[in-house]
Structure formats: structure tokens, C-alpha cells
Structure 1
Amino acid sequence: MKSEIAEDSMAHGGRLLHPRHVEIPDQVMEAIDGIEMWESQTLFAKPMSGGLNNENWYVRDGSDTAYFLKVPGSGTGFIDRSAGDAGTLRASDLGIGPAVYAFDPDSGVEITQFLEGYDTCTTTSLRTAEQGLQAMQIYRRLHGSATFDHTNTLFDQIDQHLQQMRELRIAVPSWVVDLVDEYKDVKRRFIASGLHIVPCHNDPMPGNFLVKQGTMKIIDFEFCGNNEESCELGLFLTEMFYDEEDAMPLLEEYFGTVSKQALSRVQASRVIGDIKWGMWGIITSVVRDARFDYWKYGIWKLMRAYTYLHELSWTEVKDGI
């Protein structure tokens, strides 16, 4: 910290140190001021890259302890931050996530352990056998724990997005309407056959997995909740571009023996997972003023769902659910 301080300028009455080229947003400064354990301390802070929904900051205090500060971004009021904190606490208790130091249920500001020395996973690294199997082991531990107090199935999320799109009067191409029709049919089949509800993370963005010397952790539980088991697995496989052949060792690691029904449910979940995140991207492009092209991201996700659906024996997949 001392070398960082020597090269950085003072701000906020001399209490906060930060890189000269960095401006501290008002909401971040308010969050730091509101943390009781940092009261009267001199802190060093710098922004972290990679967050789509939040302001993420690295903070180090006078005792050389490093923290991860998460400040909710604008237009994210639909996220249940208390539910996310419950997920982060669960991961900490299970040993698969960082420790939690503070959480404000009113603002959604969260302070967790900064995982020193951990590398952020990538789509490429999570496609390796080592990290892919580690991710399945993390999911098995999380899914095997007690259910959360809150439920947030992929079907709940998509239905919420459909309502938001109606309220915002967002127009989409006709082929997206066809995808929505397929989603409704798949949802009906899942419910008729029975949902296998387990506590899920629900957001397999590669940056949410961290590794250090063969140990993997998972972070960012703001979309967590009880969900259909196969939806978690389908989301991961499609996010990391696993094909059917390469996905089988991962599913065998998770299930032991992969039944026809389990495989069909995972295949269908890959499609509806991309529908969910495609809608999320389109909605976010309307409600947030950001440099990231959320519309392009959303349309790409929906196009991938449409393409994958037509690569499958889709009727057989649905019948197998």
C-alpha cells in the first residue's frame, strides 16, 4: 500500500487516497462514508474492471487489509440485493466464496474479502477439463445445501423480462417472438414434469469464477435463488460454448450417470438461458446509459438461442423433458 500511496493524490479531506487519474463517483464516496468499520480510517481505493451492473472497487485500509466494494449501478433496482447477500454468505459458509464483512440492505452496498492472488477465469480457461470439472464441483456443493428463502427460477426471470419489455414497449424482431413461443412451451413441459429446485447462482459469467493454485471460488450472487437444477448447468455450458461431446464429462461429474431426461432438460435450458440473458441485455440497453452495447449483447444471445434450437432435434428434446 505504501508504494501506491506515495504515487497517489489525496481526496475527500485527506481521508481517501486514489490514483491521480481516477475520479471517485459520488455514489462510491457515499458508500465508503457509510461503512462503519472504515470510520476514521485512511483508505486507498481504485476501480475494478468487469462489472456490468455495479461500481466495483478495490479498497485497502490502514492495517493493509484488502476489500472488494460493490456499489449498485443505476437502473438495477429490479435486483434483490438482500437475496444476493444471502447467496454470498452461503458461498462463504460453504468455502466456495469470499468472506462477507458488511452489507447495507437499503443501498445494496456490499463489502467482501478481496481474493488476493486469484486469477479471473475466462471462457477459454473454463473450457479446459480442469476448470470445467471444478465448476461442476462448486455447483454440486451449492446445490446440495439448504434451499434459499427466495426463489428465482429462470422461468420467473424470463416472465419478469417479458413484462418489463411490454411496459417499456420494446419492439423485437419476429424471430424473437417465435423464440418466446418456444420458451412458453418448454416452461409448460418443465412444470408438468416437475421442477428439481435447488439453490442456484444463476449467473455463470466467466468473471464470476476465480482460481488460485487449483482452488476455485465463485462470486457475484445478485441473481441467485432457488431454481431448476438443469438451468444452472445449461447456463454454464452455453456461456462457455461447450458442444454436446465436450459437455458430457462435466455432466457425468455432476450427475454421475446422465439420464436421457437430464440431458434433455440441460439442452432445453441452454436455449432458454440465452433467451433470458438476451432479454436482459435488450432491457438494460433501454434503462441504462452505458458505453457497453447491451442491445448488441442481447440480440447476439437471442440469435445464439435461435441457432442452437435449430441445431437440435428440438421436438425430441422437448419430449424428453
Structure 2
Amino acid sequence: MSWTRMGEGRGAAEQALEAILARVPAWAGAPLRYRAVSGGISNTNWRVQAGEGTDVFLKVPGRGTEMFITRDAAHEASRRAEACGFGVAVLDYLPEDGVEIFAFLDDFRASSNLDFLRPVVRHNAVRALRAFNDAPALTLTKTIFDMIEEHVGQVEAVGGRVPPDSAFLMRRYGQAKAALLASGLDLVPCMNDTLAGNFMLDGQDHVRLVDFEYASNNERAYELALWFDEMAFSAEVEREMIAAYWGRWTPQIHARTEVLKALGDLKWATWAMIQERVSTLDFDYYKYGTWKLSRARPLFHHPDWPRWLRLL
């Protein structure tokens, strides 16, 4: 992909980027050029060169993302990830724009689900997640219950689509919330967004975690549950990863994971119905949300659902 020089931006996305680049104090008067980086379904992503300096990465917040993302909290989480050894160096932060500027990981690439078919990648990812989850608490606490209930209200506010079995889904959600709260939550820093593209890999399969926009203190078991949602692992691999993270597999941890997998898919399906109404990005949010619900429903309808709740 070719570079665009500062001042040559034509579309709305490039002009929005250039307005932000002009406000970076360290780059005043420096020759700048940039190009788009693929990936992401909320923002536009960019690689930027400033003079003879090293390349950096930044993203421009997409329209409507302020409904879900507290940028100061995301920045705190990025710093926490850097400190725990599995994040990316944070070079600058523009709070008025909600824009973080990161070192560009030249020797790394975004992973895909296929990468996680290899045990070494899975285990390196678990070590990275565990390190972030074990980091000092974040300022923002936002549980999976807070997220779902916020999104349900937002869907109504923007006139988003509601699935025909919404009443059933919310009954199951209520059962899960009551059981999880009764069992007690282990609130720790969580990414809350463990899709494959947020794990960067180098040639030696070292892992770096990126994109902490949705990070908050949340139930620890949710981090692995959401990761399992995204990876579509087999039951055997999920058991392996639970043991790698927790040091053991137990029926109780398994039950907690299954219940939280259902809630994770419900959360992102509801998020997608909001994005369908407010986002300007070229992405099929309705299809994405429908896919998420197609994964949640078998869990909510599973014959073991009552037993899982009792085991929590």
C-alpha cells in the first residue's frame, strides 16, 4: 500500500487523521506520511512516519465508539499491559482526541484463528493474558453485567434490531447474573476483547497484546471464556487451556466458563446491533451479531445449563 503525505488526504478518514497529526507537539514541522492498516471493526488504523523517526501506530476513534469506550481508561490499560511485559510501548496520548500513539511492531503481525491451532501459540497467549489479568487493578470496573445492560439500553435508544427470542435470552442472562453474583466475582484487569487480531505474533511465536479499548476490571474467568468464543476451540483444547491458565481443570471452572461464554456472545451480539445503526465503517454488523447469537443460543438451551448454574 502506498504512502500519503501530510496535506494530500482526500477522503473523510484521511482528513480526520491529518487533523489529529497536526496536533501532535513532537511532530510540529516534521514531514509526515501515513498509510492505512487493515483490521479493526470500530476505528480506522494507521501507520505513520514522522521524518527520519521510527514508524508509529495510531487509531482514529470511529463514530459512536464513545458509547462503549472510555478512552482514558483504555490508555491506562495500555500502560498496564506495557508494564506487565506483554503490551506495546505507548509513546504518546492525546486525551482531547482519545488517540494513543504506539511503537509500530515491525517484526510482529496480527494473528489469525489458524495460528491458535498450534499449541505453542495458545500457551504463549495464555501466559500473556494471565500476566495482564494479574496486573494491578484498573480505575474502571465494568463487569459483563454492566456491559450487557448498557448495550440493551443503547439498542433501544438508537432503534437497533432486537432478536425475536430476546425475552428468552434475557431470562437466561438474569439466571446467569444471579448465580455468578451469588458465587462471588474475582475482579481483575481484563482485555474484554480477545479476538485473534488483538494477539500479535513474531517469527518465534512471542505474543504481544494490543487493543485495550474495552478493558476494565471484570470477572477473571470471562477473559478465557470470551477468548474461547472467538477461537471456536474444541472441548479438548478448551480443557487444555483452562488447565494452562488455572493450573487445573475442574467441573466448577468449566461450568463458569460455559456460562460466561454465553454471556460474552450475547454482549457482542447486542453491541453489533448498536454499531449497525451508528457506525460509518464498511462492515456487516448484523451478520456479525447474528453469528454471535448463533453461538450463544446452544449454550443457553444446553441441557446442562441448570447444572452449570448450580456448580458456580
| TM-score bucket (shorter structure) | over 0.9
Q: Deviations over 1:256-314 (max 9, x none)?
A: 12222211111111111000000011110011233211011111101210023334511
Distance 1:300 1:211, change over 3 A: same
Residue in structure 1 matched with residue 173 of structure 2 by the alignment: 183
Q: For residues 300 and 44 of structure 2, what CA distance do their matches in structure 1 show?
A: 35
Structure 1 residues 86 and 51: CA distance shift in structure 2, 3 A:
same
Q: Which residue of 2 aligns with 1:307?
A: 298
- Alpha-carbon distance change, 189 to 8 in structure 1, aligned in 2, over 3 angstroms: closer
| Pairing 1:241–2:241 present | no
Matches of 2:234 and 2:302 in 1, distance apart? 11
For 2:135 and 2:5, how far apart are their aligned partners in 1?
Answer: 46
Check the 8 A contact 2:125/2:207 in 1, yes or no: yes
Structure 2 counterpart of 1:45, one-letter code: Y
Aligned-partner Cα distance in 2 for 1:97–1:263: 28
Residue identity opposite 1:170 in structure 2? G
Q: Which runs of 5+ in 2 are unaligned?
A: none
SS of equivalent residue, structure 2 residue 96? coil
> Which of 128, 136, 151 pairs up with 1:146?
136
Structure 2 length-normalised TM: 0.94
Q: Give the match for residue 62 of structure 1.
A: 51
For 2:90, the equivalent position in structure 1 comes to 100
Letter in 2 for 1:29: E
Relative CO higher for 1 or 2, CA cutoff 8 Å, sep ≥ 6?
2
- Answering whether residue 207 of structure 2 is matched by residue 219 of structure 1, we say no
Q: Is residue 180 of structure 2 the alignment partner of residue 201 of structure 1?
A: no
3-state SS in 1 of match to 2:296? helix
Root-mean-square deviation (Å)? 1.9
Deviations, residues 170-194 of structure 1 (Å, cap 9, x unaligned): 3423223311210111011111110
CA spacing shift, 1:307–1:23, aligned 2, 3 Å: same
Q: Check whether the contact 2:262–2:296 (CA below 8 A) recurs between aligned residues.
A: yes
Q: What is the CA–CA distance in structure 2 between the aligned matches of 1:56 and 1:276, rounded to whole Å?
A: 24
Taking structure 1 as reference, are residues 24 and 186 closer, same or farther at Cα in structure 2, changes over 3 Å only? closer
CA distance in 2, matches of 1:144, 1:232: 12
Task: State the 1:127 CA deviation.
Answer: 3.2
How far 1:22 moved relative to its partner?
8.0
Structure 1 pair 9/316, CA: closer, same or farther in 2 (3 Å)?
closer
Q: Aligned to 1:174, what secondary structure does the other structure show?
A: coil
2:63 to 65, 70, 74: 74
Paired residues for 1:35-50 under 5 Å: 35-50=24-39
Distance 1:161 1:9, change over 3 A: closer
- Which amino acid is 1:93 matched to? A
**Using a 3 Å threshold, how does the CA distance of structure 1 residues 60 and 11 change in structure 2: closer, same or farther?**
closer
Letter aligned with residue 82 of structure 2 = S
Which of the numbers 41, 60, 84 marks the counterpart of 1:52?
Answer: 41
Q: 1:10 to 1:97 in 2, by over 3 A?
A: closer
Contact 1:136 / 1:254 at 8 angstroms: preserved in 2?
yes
Cα separation, partners in 2 of 1:148 and 1:11, compared to 1, 3 Å: closer
| TM-score, length of structure 1 as denominator length | 0.91
SS in 1 for 2:188: strand
Q: Look up the SS of the partner of 1:151 in the other structure.
A: coil
Unpaired runs of 5+ residues, structure 1, are none
Letter in 2 for 1:258: W
CA distance in 2, matches of 1:244, 1:176: 27
